[in-house]
A and B are shown apart, each in its own frame.
Chain A
Amino acid sequence: AQSVTQLDSQVPVFEEAPVELRCNYSSSVSVYLFWYVQYPNQGLQLLLKYLSGSTLVKGINGFEAEFNKSQTSFHLRKPSVHISDTAEYFCAVRGTYKDYKLSFGAGTTVTVRA
């Protein structure tokens, strides 16, 4: 089984500042990793995913994440945030071989202020 720890429950940030959301995972098998975003009163939208290949993954809306196998981390970054990035962000993990179960972290609330 896999598990995810999101190290920051809330991240306040000023507009146009950079942001980093930290995610660590635990697994005894190889994993696929995902970041989802949930805007207020909406469903979850896939931001980016790591399946294989380059450890630096680029996603939508200017977000990117880096997979670090030795540190079992998958941190999400954006160099300059907008007010519209205010949302809940979830890191998720699953095993690579026919694993349908996606395990989510507890989420990080990002609040962008002007």
Chain B
Amino acid sequence: DTAVSQTPKYLVTQMGNDKSIKCEQNLGHDTMYWYKQDSKKFLKIMFSYNNKELIINETVPNRFSPKSPDKAHLNLHINSLELGDSAVYFCASSESSYEQYFGPGTRLTVT
């Protein structure tokens, strides 16, 4: 069983479109995260939810909106996609603030 799963694995779309990435964890963790990894492999936290409450909201464009329907799911919706949004997006989860477990990533390509 995959602990942290993301769908889709690859996403190719045109500028201006709206897209969503889904994340699910079956570890029973209470905290989930979204990270962005750029082309130079630098990892930066975007958002975090603890028990469905937003606890980290870094400086990201408001075109990005996370949604946590329950503790096991954290989705990322992106409006009006831009070329600069092309990156690999990772979901992660943790029990409270302990070590984080990462999903396989979603490679987003905006053309």
Question: Chain A interface (Cβ within 8 Å of chain B)?
Answer: 34, 36, 38, 42-46, 49, 88, 90, 94, 98-102, 104, 106-107
Contact = CB atoms under 8 A, between A and B. Distances in A.
Q: Taking chain A's interface residues, is the majority helix, strand, or loop, or is none over half, making it mixed?
A: strand
B56 A100 contact: yes
Given A88-B41, A106-B42, A100 B102 contact: no
Interface stretch (B64-72, B73-81, B93-101): B93-101
A49 B96 CA distance: 16
Q: Taking chain B's interface residues, is the majority helix, strand, or loop, or is none over half, making it mixed?
A: strand
Interface residues of B, number: 25
A100 B90 contact: no
Interface in B1-47: 4, 31, 33, 40-45
B94 to A, nearest CB: 8
Contacts of A107: 41-43
Nearest to A36: B102
Nearest to B40: A106
